[in-house]
């Protein structure tokens, strides 16, 4: 993949967001860390202790239960949406292109929160769950990636 110099490479998952700036050659990018955010990992019992809901039908003795809410996933989605807003803040004063690397679910949450100007500067969206703290493997993956 041809990576423009001074592009922003943003790697996001449910617990971390790392932003890099590209240096080096177009086909062999080097990544320089700019910004990093971490979501503190909470236990499910710290997020909530409620039981799944129950429903009753007035005309029959049948009872039903509702599915348990995935509190960890809700927390990850909240963090990813906050990071999308942070990306929007950073990119509002910049004209750099963006390469976004995120898990498919996180990518969907991020897309909802990005404005049209930021979306227009997206050079690539890579739906891959990649460890945001690994700069060298990420640069190698970008060099080999085809759009």
Structure tokens that stand for 96 in this block? 């750099």
Residue 85 pLDDT > 80, yes or no?
A: yes
pTM: 0.76
Q: How far apart are the first and last CA of the chain?
A: 7
Q: What percent of the chain has pLDDT over 70?
A: 76
Where do the structural domains in the chain lie, given as residue ranges? 8-39+68-144
Question: Helix H segments across 1-147?
Answer: 44-47, 71-92, 104-113, 116-120, 135-144
Q: Which of residues 123 and 130 earns the better pLDDT score? A: 123
Mean pLDDT to the nearest integer, 52-64: 67
| Burial bucket for residue 135 (CB in 10 Å: 0-12, 13-18, 19+) | middle
Q: What is the CB neighbour count within 10 angstroms for residue 96?
A: 15
At 31, the pLDDT band (50, 70, 90 cuts) reads confident
Least confident stretch, 33-47, 80-94, 103-117, 122-136: 33-47
pLDDT at residue 147 above 80?
no
Return the CATH number of the domain spanning residue range 8-39+68-144: 3.30.420.60
Average pLDDT over residues 9-30: 83
């Amino acid at each position: 993949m041809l990576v423009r110099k001074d592009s922003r490479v943003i790697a996001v998952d449910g617990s971390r967001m790392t932003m890099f700036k590209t240096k080096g050659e177009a086909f062999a990018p080097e990544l320089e860390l700019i910004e990093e955010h971490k979501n503190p990992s909470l236990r499910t019992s710290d997020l909530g202790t409620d039981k799944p809901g129950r429903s009753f039908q007035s005309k029959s003795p049948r009872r039903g239960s509702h599915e348990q809410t995935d509190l960890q996933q809700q927390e990850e989605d909240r963090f990813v949406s906050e990071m999308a807003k942070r990306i929007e803040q950073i990119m509002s004063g910049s004209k750099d292109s963006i390469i976004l690397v995120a898990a498919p679910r996180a990518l969907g949450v991020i897309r909802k929160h990005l404005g049209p100007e930021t979306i227009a500067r997206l050079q690539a969206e890579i739906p891959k769950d990649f460890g945001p703290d690994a700069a060298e493997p990420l640069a190698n993956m970008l060099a080999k990636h085809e759009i």
